[in-house]
Amino acid sequence: MATIGFGLRFIYYANLKTMNTNVERNVDPMQEMIRLAENFSNLGTWGFKESYRSYKDKRLIFTSEWCHIKFVWGGWDYGSGNTISMYYGRLHAPDESATMIWNGEECHAWHRLRLPLLFLDGDSPDNAARMKASAPFTSKYYEDDYLEKFYRRQPEWLMTMHMEVWEHYGKIFFELFDLRRPNLWERYRQFLKEFYDIEGRSSFIKPSMDKVC
């Protein structure tokens, strides 16, 4: 009887896992990103409003007086479920391209989280190049407790991390991308140049990752 009971439980949980997997795979990407923005962030508090959405490319962009925030749907994976990516762009960043021509050269117009945080933390390029993992403030989000808490909920995990970054760093984080703060941005560009001078540049990535705008 115990064996039968275990077998029934196994079938039940296997069926439940299959049902959950089907729910994940059948999610509408755009509606899920909108849900995340509305329920797991305080974008409105910071003055961000939706400015662009593409059902074809599965992208959603919010804009404030400082910068853009872009959500990109990553798709579904058997091991981790649904995933998204988040990027920050200055107000000249194009909606539909990762790069643009700025001052006569091609450059990366959308930016991830790690290097801006290391710059704002005041790390030297040399020290930043030695830190292969995340920035100190976000390191806790990669620990087992956080990863278990958000198991198969990567979009919520990522949104929570970014929102807490905004709260911790405040307005200066967004001002880094502000076209009205060219001196701050130029300091960041110099930081990236020295960072990649130390870490090295991939010949497969064009333009070079320190070419940012």
Residue in the block written with tokens 């662009």: 52
Could you give the angle at which helices 154-169 and 29-39 cross, rounded to 10 degrees? 40
State the DSSP code for 49: E
Please state the domain extents for the chain.
2-199
**Spatial contact of 49 and 74, defined as CB atoms under 8 Å apart:** no
Neighbours of 190 (CB within 10 A): 13
In angstroms, how far apart are the furthest CA atoms of the chain?
A: 76
In DSSP terms, which residues pair with 128 in a beta bridge? none
What pTM was estimated for this model as a whole? 0.86
Task: State the alpha helices, DSSP H only, in the chain.
Answer: 2-25, 29-39, 114-120, 125-130, 144-149, 154-169, 171-175, 182-199
Q: Give 101-142 pLDDT, tens digit per residue.
A: 999 999 999 999 999 999 999 999 998 888 776 789 999 999
The length of the chain is 213
Cα angle vertex 141, ends 181, 44, to 5°?
50
pLDDT tens across 128-178, in order? 888 776 789 999 999 999 889 999 899 999 999 999 999 999 999 999 999
